[in-house]
Structure 1
Amino acid sequence: MKNTKSFKFFLAFTLMLSATGAILQPQANASSSPRISITINNIDATLSHDPMKRSGRVYVPLRDLGALLSLHTSWNPNTKSIQVLGVGQEIVLRPNDSKAMVNGKNIKIDAPPIVKQGVTYVPLQLFASVLKVPLTWNAKTNTVNANYTSPYLYTSVQGTPFWFHKKDGTLYMSTGSKPLTVGKTSMDIKEISTFTAAKLDAKSYLLQIHDNYGEPHINDVVFRAIVHKEKLALSSKVSYWGHHNHESIEKAGDLIVMIDGKTLKLADAKGTVKASYQAKDLFGEEDNFTVEGAFDEYLLVRPYQKGTLQLLNTKTKEFVLLYKELLSDQDKKIIDTMINDGATGDSDYAGDRLSFVKKEGKTLYFNRNENSLTYQLK
């Protein structure tokens, strides 16, 4: 009898353990579920947070994916709402609320947004039905694909977003509501582009677009725009062909460096041009150029084709070819020979390789092939 009771107790205990294991097992499977991937036009997208499944739905990180699709996401702590902005779009969502406001109209959405560890997730369907971005879900590969190419470049600085239409050159910005038109430009995007913004003061911004195109990608266009009081105040555009440096400094003292073709304009934050120089004024030739340093009355400019850094005194209009002052006779001869032979476009010609580092007192410091060189201002 005792043995029978013991057996029954053992059997019940064993069944209890089995049941407990059965209850715990799905949680283990859930934690090891396959990772959900996101692609845009079937190309892997890099996100800071992974998508997730909840109640049979796929949820995606709103801010991460939105930025890749030229959408700006922000949190309003006063109304405890999430705002999503795009050109012609303003969507307001609230966590755990199945209603949304789209361009001023209330609508019901498939499922409410979820906030997890400070990250807002929205149902995949929201992008298709509300934001008009066609998304597909592949259950076999656990992949979300956005079949979408935005017609806009997007960037933001200190919470202020900007958009640029790649083909018609229109600039947009938002000051907290649906984006407004800033102005029309002569810039259009051909291929690989970057869009950046910097805040100049409470009412002004500097925008820059770099477009690289053609094979073997030696065509570069650099566009800059000063936006003041929500309007396009001044813009510039310069094109380069070759493999030399195309980057210029943003400021010369308090003035903005704007290179428009073969003209250098120095402007204030309102877009007012305070000084202007032609290429011939800067280095005595007709060529596009970069500006790589500015201090006191001096500018460091580099004609693009020759790639030789020159020091211009803007008061006296005198300029110094720095490689003639700083390099060895052998190095100077190599550069001179390449220039005289018209070989400055060759891939093995890199100009003088001088890189400006800093100014201390009247001493200018340069690097060249890991060597430090100095020049004394007169």
Structure 2
Amino acid sequence: MVPDAKCRRRDIIILLLSLVGAVALFIVIFVTFSFKHVEAQVQKEQKDNTGPDIKILQDGVEMKLSNPPFLKSGRIFVPLRDLSQLLDFRTDWDATHQIITVIGINHVVRVDPYSIQALVDGKSVRMDADPVIRGNSTYVPLQFFASAFGTPVTWDTYTKTVNINNQSKYLHAVHPDGTMFWVSKQNGTLYMRSAGMGAKLVTVGQIHLNTIEIDKGNMRVESLDPQGYDIEIAVSMKDMTDVVYNVRVLGGAIARETITIPSD
């Protein structure tokens, strides 16, 4: 039996409706999947961008960084330069080799913003995650930073707080030419590190602090001539005495020092 024209038209219409339904179902599934994928990405981005909520406490005092830390893949990332300056480290940028050098009294750390490998005191160290570049800042995992510089750091998940216990044993000053000076709060030993990639820490000498531990203070340094520096160290002793030390450094050694105790 041959189907008549009416039956054929009906079958064609049913087929077309089926095809339209299948296409519509495909579109619905595709859009739904895409929406959920984007939603998941947004949630992930929100999770990875909780920086403004993260606090940094240094010895119990909240510190504000111009580039806030953030949480990414379960790790805290901190801005290398900002945190280094907070802890009185010097940061240099080598544009030719694309290397960031962070210098403290005890450690020199070199970071390539595009590599998971870093140099800590000349030894290759693998970070627990790749550095992240945001804007003009390079971020590194907090755990790496703490380990590289021996800085005690704890992370409080509930309050989203980074606690840095950094009661420095030194006063610190940097001359505009890049030369760095530190003086021990315990015994008055003065250290110097010249500017330059390979500069080593040098013990300049010992300032006569009479072994009285410094409580608070500040340093500033000025040029004397191409070979010398004048350093002023204003300190408060444990017995509440205010003292100003003027130290002249020539050829990497203490050439002269004077002590002034302000009168009431």
TM-score, structure 2 normalization: 0.75
Does the Cα contact within 8 Å between 1:35 and 1:142 map onto a contact in 2?
A: yes
Q: Tell me, yes or no, if structure 1 residue 45 matches structure 2 residue 45.
A: no
Q: Give the root-mean-square deviation of aligned CA atoms.
A: 3.1
Aligned partner (choices 162, 186, 200) of residue 181 of structure 2: 162
Q: Distance in 1 between matches of 2:133 and 2:192?
A: 27
* 1:67-78 correspondence to structure 2 within 5 Å: 67-78=85-96
Q: Shift of the alpha carbon at 1:67?
A: 3.1
- CA change 1:76–1:235 in 2 (3 A) is farther
Aligned partner (choices 222, 234, 251) of residue 210 of structure 1: 234
Corresponding residue of 1:91: 109
Q: Distance in 2 between matches of 1:114 and 1:25?
A: 19
Q: Distance in 2 between matches of 1:43 and 1:19?
A: 42
> What amino acid does structure 2 have at the position aligned with 1:164?
V
Q: Distance in 1 between matches of 2:182 and 2:85?
A: 11
* 1:1-378 correspondence to structure 2 within 5 Å: 12=28, 15=32, 19=36, 22=39, 25-26=42-43, 29-30=46-47, 33=50, 34-158=52-176, 159-175=178-194, 176=196, 177-187=199-209, 189-213=213-237, 219-242=241-264
Q: Distance in 2 between matches of 1:207 and 1:166?
A: 15
Q: Shift of the alpha carbon at 1:89?
A: 2.1
SS in 1 for 2:97: coil
SS in 1 for 2:28: helix
Q: Distance in 2 between matches of 1:25 and 1:104?
A: 41
SS in 2 for 1:191: strand
Q: Distance in 2 between matches of 1:20 and 1:114?
A: 24
- CA change 1:64–1:15 in 2 (3 A) is closer
> What amino acid does structure 2 have at the position aligned with 1:12?
V
SS in 1 for 2:214: coil
Q: Distance in 1 between matches of 2:49 and 2:95?
A: 35
SS in 1 for 2:53: coil
Q: Shift of the alpha carbon at 1:18?
A: 5.5
List runs of 5+ in structure 2 lacking aligned partners.
1-13
- CA change 1:110–1:88 in 2 (3 A) is same
Higher fraction of helix: 2
TM-score, structure 1 normalization: 0.54
Q: What does the per-residue CA deviation read over 1:263-302, in whole Å, with 9 as the maximum and x for residues that have no partner?
A: xxxxxxxxxxxxxxxxxxxxxxxxxxxxxxxxxxxxxxxx
Q: What does the per-residue CA deviation read over 1:193-226, in whole Å, with 9 as the maximum and x for residues that have no partner?
A: 11222234433222211113568x5x31111212
SS in 1 for 2:168: coil
Corresponding residue of 1:270: none
Aligned residues: 236
> What amino acid does structure 2 have at the position aligned with 1:29?
Q
Bigger RCO (CA 8 Å, 6+ sep) = 2
